[in-house]
Structure 1
Amino acid sequence: MKQQKKGTNGQRLNAMGWISLMQVKLLLVSIFVISCKRENLDYTFDYRPNPDAQKASNTRLVNLSENAQLIANGDSLTNFFVPPQRSGYIPPEELTPPGTRYFPKDGRLGQSWTVPQDLFQTDGTVRFRTTFVPIPTKTIASHDVEFTVRDSYDAPKDYYLLINHESRVQKPDRLVEVPRSVTAPKRPDYFKIRIINFAKKLMPTSSMEDITGPITLTYADGTPVSNSTTRIVSDAWSDYVELPYGTYQFKLLTADGRQIPAVGHTYYNNIDRFNSTMEMGGGAISRMSSGQTYAPVQTFQPGGIYTIVVHPKEFTWTTGTDDISELQNGFQIIADISEPLNRTYAQIQLANTITGQDAVLRAKGQTTATTAYGKASDYFPVVAGQQPIVIETASGQVLAAIDAELQAGQNYTAWLYMDPDKKVKVLLAANNLAGTAYTGKEGGGNNATIDRFRSSYMFNFRFLNFCAALPYATFTNGEGRPFGTGAMDSGVNMAPGILNILQPYTSLLYSASNDTGGPYQFMAYSSLPTRIPGDWLQQVKPLSSTQLVANPKLYTAVGRKVPLHEPGVYSIAVIGDLKGTTETDKAKFMVVKHTK
C-alpha cells in the first residue's frame, strides 16, 4: 500500500511538472506573439513627397524671371517638363508637372527658394544654372544664366534673378546679390520692411510711361513711411524699418509723385499705358482709366520681415480691339522669412458716437488718445485673452466697461454709443480685414460649404446704426436701392447698436460707379421689416464715394484724375440726433477706415 501510494504521488508530481513546463512555453509564445503585434502596430508609412531632412541654409534664390528650371552642380533639380503638344484628348496625368525631390509640388522653381545645406560642396559653394523650358502659351525665349553661391552663417543673402527682358530694357541685370535680414524686430508686435529698386528704363520703342528713378515707400494716403525708405535710387535698397503690425496698403511713388503699379492678377494688370492706372469697362469704353493704381492690401504679421521690390514685369494695355503685352516696372511684396503665425496679439481702437463727449479707451494698461465725437482712434496692440475694456472721459471718469475675449490676430473697434434708454454702452465689433466675402451662394457639392471669395484689393463696407431714435436704418446707393437684400442683406434694417453677423459687409468692385459712370453715393433711410428702403432721411447728408479718397492731392498733384473711391475695409455708421439743428449734434454719416 505504501509503495502504491508513493507511486501515485510521483505520477502527480511528474504531471504537475509537465503542466508547468507547458505553461511556461505558452507564456513565451504569448509574449512573442504580443511583441510581434506591437511591432506591426508601430509600423507607419511616410507619404510625404520628400521625407529627407533638409536643413535650410542662409542663402535664398528670388526668381523674378520666367526661368523655372534649375540645375545645381550639374544635376537637374526641377522636372524640365514640357506639356504634350498634340490634338485630341490628353489624359490629365500627362498635363500635370511631376514633382521632384527639391520641388515636390510641381517640380518647378517658384518665386523664392531657400537653398538646402546638402547641396553645398566641400568648398562651401553651389554652382547653379537656370533656364526656361518653352511652353506653348509663352513666347519668351530661353535665357540661361549660370552663377555660384556661397553660404554664410552670419550674413544671410538673396540672389535675385532678373532675366528674360534683356532686349527690352536699358542696362539690364541678370543676377543681383542682396543682403537679407532674418533678425526679429526689436518689439515683438512690430514687423520689418524695406524696398529694393530694380526699376529699369525701357527701350525708346516702348509705349509705356517712364516710372524710373528714385522711389519712396508711402502709406495709402501718400504719407512717406520713413526717411530710410525715401528716394531710394536705382539698383539700390533701403534699410529695414520697423512698424506696428497690421493691415496696410503700401504704395511706391516716383520722385515726382506718380504711383508705381503692383504685379498681381491679370484683372488688375490691365493698365493705361500713359499713367499705369487700371483700366475699367468694356467694349466702347474699354480704354477708360479708373484713376487707381493697383497696390494690394495685406496684413503684415508681428515678427515678420518683408521686402518690396520694383522690377520690370509684363503688363497689358488695350488698343480697343487688341490686348498688347508689354514690360513696365511694377512691385511685389516678398516675405524674407516664413510669416509668423500671430497667436499673441489683437488690435483695438475706439470709435466715439456720443455728441459732446471726448473719450479714451483703456485695455491691458494701455490707452488710446483722446477721441472726439465722430472720430476713431488709432489702433494699439493688446495681448489676446479675456480682459476688461474700459472707456473713460479725459479726466478718468468711467463711461462704460465690458469684459471681452479678444482673439489673437483679430482687429476690433469698440463703438461708444447711447442706447434709446440714454444709457452709455459699448459695441465691440470684430473687423474682417482679410478681404473675404460671401458670394450669396451655397456650393461645394454635398458638404454644405459656403462659397466665398478673397480679394487683395477690396472695397468692403459695414453699415451701423447709432441713432437711438431710429428703430431701423437701411443704407442705399444714390438711386435708393439697398446695397444688399436677401442673403446679401448688409445694411438693411439695422437696429441701433446691433451688428449684422450673417453678412457683415457689402463688397464692391474697383470699377463701381453710378449709372453715368460718376461717383456713387451712400444714403440712409428709416425703414421697417415690412417696408424697404422706407423713408429717406433728408437730414442725413448723402455720402459721396469720393469722400473715401484720403488725399486727393496724391492724384491731382501729378495731373491725374481723382478716382471714384479707394480700396480698404470701412465702417459707415449713421450717428447723431435726427432732430438736431447744429453741425455738432445733427445726424450724419461717420466713416472709419480700418486699413491704413
Structure 2
Amino acid sequence: MKLTLNIYIALMATGLFFSCKKDKADNINKSSLDVLKTSPSNIRLFNFTDFDADMTINNIPLTAYGIKDGTGAAVIGTGNATQLGLQFFPKEAWKAGAGGSPFILPTSLLDKNGRAEIRLLINTKTIDTIIQNNTLQPKDYYLFRKTAQGKDILSYVVLNREANPPAAAENFKVRILNYQQTQDPLGLTGPVTLTYADGTPVHAKLSNIAPNTASEYVELPYGAYQFKLFLSNGSFIDVEKQMTELPVQPDFQSVKPLPQPQQGVIIPVRTYKPGGAYTMLVSAAAMSYQDKYPDGTGDPVRVDFNMNIYRVVADIEPAVNFSFARVQAANAYPGPGLNFMIDGQRIANGLDFGKNSEYYISTRGAHTVSITDASGKKLAEKSLTLYPYDNYTIWATQKKDGSADIVFAAVSMTSAYYETGYGTPSGVSGTDALRKKPYAWSTRFLNLSPDVPLATFTNDHSLFIHYDFYQNLPFSGACNIKSNTIPDVEPFLSYAMGKRTLGISNPAAVGDGSAEKIRVYESTEGRYPELPGKLLASISPLNVKEKFIANKGLYTSASLEPWAEPGIYTVALIGKTVPGAPEGEKARLMVIKHNK
C-alpha cells in the first residue's frame, strides 16, 4: 500500500508550539560524553508506526540513514551512524516496537531556548517540527499509523504526561488516550470504557472516552489487575467489541464478512505498582493474518490490516517499592462470621465461613494478626513479617481439636514456574529454568479441612498434569496436601490459555491444558500409582466454567465461553467431613480469584 503523510497536531489541547519553519539550530555541545552525562528533558517520543525511523535533532543526525528493506526496517551496519547517535540507538535506527521504543531527549540536545527541531524519516516520508521543552509539564510525542480514506498514513499527537505521583504513596494513576483510527475493518470505533475482569466499569472518569480525547487520571490502590477495554455507549459496554492488548491480535476470520465480533479476548494479569502512572493508549497497529492455506507446498497467503488495539504505557516509572505489601482475609473456620485484624486495625468485619475479603495494603515489617468472634473474643493470634510486593491470604482455619488457627498463604501474581526437566542446573541460581505464562489459568490447592489429613485434587477423576517443554508429570502441588499446611514446592499450577495471534483460533481454544470439573479425594502417603485415593463423594465437584468465569454476561453464547478465564486463583477444601456436621459447616470447595 502507498504510504502518504497526514500530520495531526493538537495545538489547542497541549499549548505546545509547533513550526514547520526550519530555523537554524544554535550551536550545542556535540560531545557524546557530555550529552550522556546531562539530565533528561521533559520531551519523550514514541514510535508506534511499525516502521524503523531515522532521527535528526537540531541538525545532529542520531541514526544511520541507511538502506531500508522492504518492510521499512534499517539494514544494520551501514557505518553512517554518528558516535553520539550510537549511544542512543546502537542498532543505527530508532527501532519500532510494541512498546513504542520510548526515547527521552537529553537536555544537551536542546538549543539555548530549550527547543528541539526534530526531523524524522519514516519509510521515505519526513516529519519535521519543533518542540519546546517545558520544565514544568512533561510532553509525550506519539507517532501513529492508521488507515484513512483507504490509505495507510502516519499521524502524530503531542499530549501532556503526568508529572506528579499519586497523592497516596500506595496508589497508582491510570488514564485512557483514545487515538483510534476512524476506519477500522472490525468496526472497533467509538468511545471506550475501562473495566475490571468481570466487566464492571472502573470509574466514571474512565468511561465513554471519545475518539481523539484523553481522560483524566484516576487513582487506584496498587495491585494485580486484569483491566479490559470495551467500546461503549453511555452506561453500557458492547461485549462484542472488546479491544485486544498487544501482542494478542484481534480475532479475524478470512471466510467471514466484516466487521466481526470481538469478545472473550484474553488479557494478562499485570501488577500496577505503587507510585506509578499508566496510560491505556488506543491506536491502530499493523496486523498480519493467514488468509488461506494454499494447495501443495509453500507458506500460507497473508493479508495485512491496520486495526485498533491498545497498549499500556508507563507515564511515571515507579520508584523501588520499599514499603508496601498486600493481605486479604479468608474464612475457612466453620461457624459464625469472624473479624480479622492486623496490629489492632480491622481489615475484615464479620467475614462469613467460605468468604474472602478485598485486599488491604499494609507495610513492610513484623505484624500481629488476630481473629476474633462477633463478641470480640480472641480466637487465634500469630506474627507475620511482610516484605515489599508480598501478597498474602490470611486464612482462619480449624484444627483437629476444634480450636481456631491462622494459616498464611503467599500468593504469586506472576504465573511463573520452574521447568522441572530443565537439563542440568547452572549451580548459581534457578533463573535459567524460570518460565512465565502471562496468559494462564494459575491455581493453587489447599487442604484446610480439620477432618482430612491428606487431600488430593483431581482434574475430574485424573491427576492434574504439569505441562512444560521437557516433560509432563503429575502436578505435585495438588497431591497429598496436609491439613492446614501450605505446599512450598511447585505451589501453583499454570495452564496457558489459547490466544489469537494469527486469527485462526477461537475464544474457547485451549493452550497446554484445561479442566472441566475439580474433585477432591482423601489420600494416603504414597507414589502416584496409589493416588488419588478415596473420593470424597459428599463434596460437590467444582464446575470450572461456573466458578472460573467472572461474568458470563460478557459472552453472547456458550460456544464463545472459554473453559476458564485466565487469572490467579486458589481452590481450598474447607469445612467438616464428619457425620452429623451442621449444614452450614459441611465440607466444600472454595474458590478465590486474587486479581481484580
Same fold (TM over 0.5): yes
The match for 1:241 among 186, 197, 218 is 218
**Structure 2 equivalent of residue 311 of structure 1:** 283
- 1:452 matches 2:434: yes
Measure, in 1, the Cα distance between the counterparts of 2:189 and 2:275. Answer: 31
Correspondence list, 1:504-523, <5 A: 504-511=491-498, 520-523=516-519
- What amino acid is aligned across from residue 568 of structure 2 in structure 1? V
- What amino acid is aligned across from residue 363 of structure 2 in structure 1? V
**Structure 1 equivalent of residue 568 of structure 2:** 569
**Residues 220 and 249, structure 1, Cα contact 8 Å, conserved in 2:** yes
- What amino acid is aligned across from residue 221 of structure 2 in structure 1? P
**Residues 169 and 202, structure 1, Cα contact 8 Å, conserved in 2:** no
**Residues 352 and 373, structure 1, Cα contact 8 Å, conserved in 2:** yes
- 1:151 matches 2:133: yes
Measure, in 1, the Cα distance between the counterparts of 2:532 and 2:441. Answer: 23
> What secondary structure, in the 3-state scheme, does the structure 1 residue paired with 2:244 have?
coil
Please list every run of 5 or more consecutive structure 2 residues that lacks an aligned counterpart in the other structure: 1-31, 71-75, 95-99, 294-299, 467-471, 499-507
- 1:264 matches 2:276: no
CA deviation profile, 1:130-165 (whole Å, cap 9, x unmatched): 234xxxxxxxx5443222211112222111111365
CA deviation profile, 1:289-341 (whole Å, cap 9, x unmatched): 99630322110111101100111113344445245332211110000022322
Question: 1:514: Cα distance to partner?
Answer: 8.9
Q: Which moved more, 1:425-434 or 1:76-85?
A: 76-85
Measure, in 2, the Cα distance between the counterparts of 1:168 and 1:527. Answer: 65
**Structure 2 equivalent of residue 43 of structure 1:** none
**Structure 1 equivalent of residue 208 of structure 2:** 231
Q: Which moved more, 1:533-542 or 1:209-218?
A: 533-542
**Structure 2 equivalent of residue 384 of structure 1:** 364
Measure, in 1, the Cα distance between the counterparts of 2:518 and 2:585. Answer: 20
**Structure 2 equivalent of residue 281 of structure 1:** none
**Residues 148 and 183, structure 2, Cα contact 8 Å, conserved in 1:** no
Measure, in 2, the Cα distance between the counterparts of 1:570 and 1:455. Answer: 14
CA deviation profile, 1:6-41 (whole Å, cap 9, x unmatched): xxxxxxxxxxxxxxxxxxxxxxxxxxxxxxxxxxxx
Measure, in 1, the Cα distance between the counterparts of 2:282 and 2:178. Answer: 5
Structure-1-length-normalised TM-score:
0.79
**Structure 2 equivalent of residue 42 of structure 1:** none
CA deviation profile, 1:333-392 (whole Å, cap 9, x unmatched): 000022322110010011100122312221145322321110110111111111211122
**Structure 2 equivalent of residue 123 of structure 1:** 113
Measure, in 2, the Cα distance between the counterparts of 1:269 and 1:496. Answer: 44
**Structure 2 equivalent of residue 528 of structure 1:** 524
The alpha-carbon distance between structure 1 residues 153 and 98, as it changes in their structure 2 partners (threshold 3 A), is: closer
CA deviation profile, 1:41-93 (whole Å, cap 9, x unmatched): xxxxxxx99983121111211221124332212322134466999xxxxxx99
- 1:420 matches 2:420: no
> What secondary structure, in the 3-state scheme, does the structure 2 residue paired with 1:210 have?
coil
Measure, in 2, the Cα distance between the counterparts of 1:84 and 1:314. Answer: 17
Measure, in 2, the Cα distance between the counterparts of 1:229 and 1:179. Answer: 17
**Structure 2 equivalent of residue 352 of structure 1:** 331
**Residues 332 and 397, structure 2, Cα contact 8 Å, conserved in 1:** yes
Measure, in 1, the Cα distance between the counterparts of 2:82 and 2:584. Answer: 67
Question: 1:481: Cα distance to partner?
Answer: 2.5
The alpha-carbon distance between structure 1 residues 589 and 453, as it changes in their structure 2 partners (threshold 3 A), is: same
**Structure 2 equivalent of residue 537 of structure 1:** 536
Measure, in 2, the Cα distance between the counterparts of 1:435 and 1:228. Answer: 31
Looking at secondary structure, tell me which structure has more helix per residue.
Answer: 1
The alpha-carbon distance between structure 1 residues 193 and 513, as it changes in their structure 2 partners (threshold 3 A), is: closer
**Structure 2 equivalent of residue 251 of structure 1:** 228
Percent identity for Structure 1 against Structure 2: 28
Looking at secondary structure, tell me which structure has more strand per residue.
Answer: 2
**Structure 2 equivalent of residue 372 of structure 1:** 352
The match for 2:320 among 331, 341, 346 is 341
**Structure 1 equivalent of residue 3 of structure 2:** none
Question: 1:101: Cα distance to partner?
Answer: 4.4
**Structure 2 equivalent of residue 88 of structure 1:** none
Correspondence list, 1:7-156, <5 A: 52-69=36-53, 70-80=55-65, 100-103=85-88, 106-109=91-94, 111-132=101-122, 141-156=123-138
Correspondence list, 1:316-327, <5 A: 316-319=288-291, 321=293, 322=300, 323-327=302-306
Please list every run of 5 or more consecutive structure 1 residues that lacks an aligned counterpart in the other structure: 1-47, 86-91, 133-140, 277-286
CA deviation profile, 1:434-464 (whole Å, cap 9, x unmatched): 2212222234764364312123322110000
Measure, in 1, the Cα distance between the counterparts of 2:490 and 2:380. Answer: 28
Question: 1:513: Cα distance to partner?
Answer: 7.5
**Structure 2 equivalent of residue 175 of structure 1:** 156
Measure, in 1, the Cα distance between the counterparts of 2:92 and 2:386. Answer: 42
Structure 1 outlier segments of 4+, above 6 Å = 48-51, 92-95, 512-515
The alpha-carbon distance between structure 1 residues 482 and 567, as it changes in their structure 2 partners (threshold 3 A), is: closer
CA deviation profile, 1:222-241 (whole Å, cap 9, x unmatched): 11111111100000010000
Measure, in 1, the Cα distance between the counterparts of 2:146 and 2:65. Answer: 17
The alpha-carbon distance between structure 1 residues 340 and 352, as it changes in their structure 2 partners (threshold 3 A), is: same
- 1:548 matches 2:548: yes
**Structure 2 equivalent of residue 29 of structure 1:** none
The alpha-carbon distance between structure 1 residues 382 and 467, as it changes in their structure 2 partners (threshold 3 A), is: same
The match for 2:391 among 382, 387, 411 is 411
**Residues 214 and 232, structure 1, Cα contact 8 Å, conserved in 2:** yes
**Residues 473 and 527, structure 1, Cα contact 8 Å, conserved in 2:** yes
- What amino acid is aligned across from residue 158 of structure 1 in structure 2? D
Aligned positions, number: 514
The match for 1:296 among 268, 272, 284 is 268
- What amino acid is aligned across from residue 297 of structure 1 in structure 2? V
> What secondary structure, in the 3-state scheme, does the structure 1 residue paired with 2:352 have?
coil
The alpha-carbon distance between structure 1 residues 107 and 213, as it changes in their structure 2 partners (threshold 3 A), is: same
The alpha-carbon distance between structure 1 residues 403 and 65, as it changes in their structure 2 partners (threshold 3 A), is: same
The alpha-carbon distance between structure 1 residues 518 and 156, as it changes in their structure 2 partners (threshold 3 A), is: closer
Q: Which moved more, 1:470-479 or 1:441-450?
A: 441-450
Measure, in 2, the Cα distance between the counterparts of 1:250 and 1:275. Answer: 31
The match for 2:178 among 197, 201, 220 is 197
**Residues 66 and 78, structure 2, Cα contact 8 Å, conserved in 1:** no
Question: 1:251: Cα distance to partner?
Answer: 0.6
Measure, in 2, the Cα distance between the counterparts of 1:479 and 1:49. Answer: 66
Structure-2-length-normalised TM-score:
0.79
Question: 1:169: Cα distance to partner?
Answer: 6.4
The alpha-carbon distance between structure 1 residues 164 and 147, as it changes in their structure 2 partners (threshold 3 A), is: farther
**Residues 261 and 294, structure 1, Cα contact 8 Å, conserved in 2:** no
> What secondary structure, in the 3-state scheme, does the structure 1 residue paired with 2:37 have?
coil
The alpha-carbon distance between structure 1 residues 81 and 94, as it changes in their structure 2 partners (threshold 3 A), is: closer
